[in-house]
Chain A
Amino acid sequence: EAGVAQSPRYKIIEKRQSVAFWCNPISGHATLYWYQQILGQGPKLLIQFQNNGVVDDSQLPKDRFSAERLKGVDSTLKIQPAKLEDSAVYLCASSLNTGGGGTEAFFGQGTRLTVV
């Protein structure tokens, strides 16, 4: 079974530039997550999709971050303009979501963003 695919693996940009990350979840997984993991911290949920609808984006900095999930499959996360504090690993995950909780999530390898 193919895992969650993310690209690029690494990205270095200057502050105030824009950047986009791409995620392809496991086939058939209804739920897709984007997490931000700052060095030394646990992952923080940015946005959760159920098919192509947003379930939770309460911690997404909407003035600069945006995300979409095309046709309920692939997803892109964009930052515009980037700030130094956006330097982090951006993790994408997906799960079957049986609706009752307790469904494990499968994670991609992440995109390491460095803003200079």
Chain B
Amino acid sequence: AQSVTQLDSHVSVSEGTPVLLRCNYSSSYSPSLFWYVQHPNKGLQLLLKYTSAATLVKGINGFEAEFKKSETSFHLTKPSAHMSDAAEYFCVVTSPGDKLTFGTGTQLKVEL
């Protein structure tokens, strides 16, 4: 069994300040983890993925995430938020067989 908990349903930051979106996971297997972003009326786009290689993963648009097994966490960060980062972000865990389990999402708001 596997599950994902996104700890914040809404996060609001000012443009130019750091972003932190929190994700904890539970998995019976060695997990693979993803972050996807969904802009309004757009499809889901992969930001980055962890698949048991380096624990610090860099993705597109300046995002990165760190896999911490001891804390069962995979938090998403970005040093400086941009207005275009406003969107919904989903943390996803997979297992062998590639079943994807989504978190409930975090809505990121970026203010001037």
Residues of chain A having any CB pair with chain B under 8 Å: 3-4, 31, 33, 35, 41-45, 48, 55-56, 91, 93, 95, 97, 99-110
Contacts and interface: CB of A to CB of B under 8 A. Distances in A.
A43 B90 contact: yes
A101 B100 contact: no
Contacts of A41: 104-105
A31 B95 CA distance: 14
Interface string B10-29: 00000000000000000001
Contacts of A101: 29, 31-32, 51, 94-98
A33 B99 CA distance: 9
Interface residues of B, number: 27
Residue of A31, A56, A100, A109 with most chain B CB atoms under a 10 A cut-off: A100
Contacts of A103: 94, 98
